[in-house]
Chain A
């Protein structure tokens, strides 16, 4: 099976430098793309059916197509490398072990978007990623892949800069990210206007996830049909999926889109550790609804997961075992979201700490049945349509599905507090 995202990755050895990367077929997509019309590249990516890997899964080429035609002013590509969704560690793998793949993807994408500047917005804690990206960027300049006349193409000028951040999950929300990049507080912006039309400093901007852009070299170099054949059955492409929690071999791997949760959990992660059973799992990060063991045979595809009442999200699954308290797990997630709320709107700023307070009471056994009703009400109060961005609705997802699947445990907590140790 072709593994376009991880073919150069070998844990334990240093990532390829420019020459090694090039010898392995690297930067071919740049040499090919500069002979194409930018609009044809956009269409190619659209036809490939690549969905964004940042969590929402929107068709990448379609997103690019909303960028207005060039007007002579600046246009930007911004890479979202904030990766702070609890349970998510895939962009770290890609950048730490093959930084040139992201740079190549950015160059090819900027050509398609006719953008002259690319920023990589990287969370500050990813210090190894930072060092390796700086190295890769500098090698790309030295080898004529960045700067003036990229790859010898007259008039194709491109600069790429690395911006390292300093914490806060909300910076991953694409409009908050743009504010952060401009040096402002990272509160989200109203949409519309969408960033494609008015983004960084009011100019057309595309924000894409790291993994999304790492897919571009393969698609451009090898074509739509090749890409579509990477998936299983009707599904297209590969993606980085992974598992954390009490499994034998936690980690993340490049898998064909469309394998089942069971295949990921058993074939890749080696199944549950001895003495632990699977109770439930979060299919794609802390802001997705719990799924249960009966959902294990679903394909890991956004549509299929949505039908089961959750979201594929980042497709890194987190396993809840039978010896871990589900109410405590939700309490931990809510504490995270309450802490990371940017404070802009009331349901999120005030709702999440209230939920946290109630869950703390339950832990100690001082909650009431009325509190369970309040929790239920809060999932709607913080739900879609009531808040300025998707943070609070995301936080509501594990809570609402937790109430659905673990009501007995909530009630037991009301009676005598947490009985897990």
Chain B
């Protein structure tokens, strides 16, 4: 990723009132503002879809955490997206139980039906596909998440149905 943070061209954006309200709520849980860094990034991501340089700087200024330090946290956690993602992020488990029960063929299926491989987003920005480690539902493998929803015992047919639902929702 190009390091835009170092460039002066990037300015912090204004946090929205909703974002500020949720960040303030989280602040009541910890004695130090730094502890809220990750939660604040998650809040921003919830509203914006991802964490842009402008958002990162906004959180950094708001919580008084040096931008480099916050960037270190943002890039450490794989569920913080520092690049734009599609409207729906598909998290396909590729760990051992799901691998044994065929997650590789599900990945192939996404390539065929949505035209995206891991790390890619559909042209209409509807879906991004990302592999994730064990989702803690290995007894119901293969497993994936879309947004906050978890889907179990997947087959290619089931995936087609689920994707159709998301497409219908628009």
A interface with B by C-beta (< 8 Å):
74, 83-89, 91-92, 123-128, 161, 163-169, 180-186, 201, 242-246, 250-252, 286, 316, 318, 320-321, 324, 328-329, 332-333, 336, 339-340, 342
Contacts and interface: CB of A to CB of B under 8 A. Distances in A.
Nearest to B99: A332
A169 B30 CA distance: 23
Contacts of B149: 127
B95 A89 contact: no
B105 to A, nearest CB: 11
Contacts of B150: 125, 127-128
Given A125-B136, A183-B37, A185-B73, A167 B97 contact: no
B96 A318 contact: yes
B170 interface: no
A87 B94 CA distance: 12
A183 B65 contact: yes
Nearest to B28: A161
A45 B35 CA distance: 32
B132 interface: yes
A83 B136 CA distance: 7
Residue picked from A86, A123, A163, A342, most chain B C-beta under 10 Å: A86
Interface string B94-137: 11110111000000000000000000000000000000111111
Contacts, number: 132
Nearest to A160: B29
A127 B136 CA distance: 12
Residue picked from B30, B65, B78, B140, most chain A C-beta under 10 Å: B30
Nearest to A243: B139
Given A89-B139, A124-B79, A168-B77, A180 B38 contact: yes
Contacts of B145: 125
B23 interface: no
27 contacts: A74-B31, A86-B133, A87-B96, A89-B136, A89-B138, A125-B79, A127-B149, A166-B41, A166-B78, A168-B77, A182-B34, A182-B35, A183-B30, A183-B38, A184-B34, A186-B77, A243-B139, A245-B97, A245-B100, A246-B100, A250-B141, A286-B95, A286-B134, A318-B96, A332-B94, A336-B95, A340-B133
Nearest to A181: B35
A124 B150 CA distance: 12
A168 B96 contact: no
Given A182-B32, A182-B34, A183-B37, A168 B76 contact: yes
A325 to B, nearest CB: 10
A289 to B, nearest CB: 15
B35 A183 contact: yes
A166 B95 contact: no
Nearest to B45: A166
B79 A87 contact: no
A166 B96 contact: no
A128 B152 CA distance: 14
Contacts of B31: 74, 201
Given A125-B145, A183-B34, A84 B139 contact: no
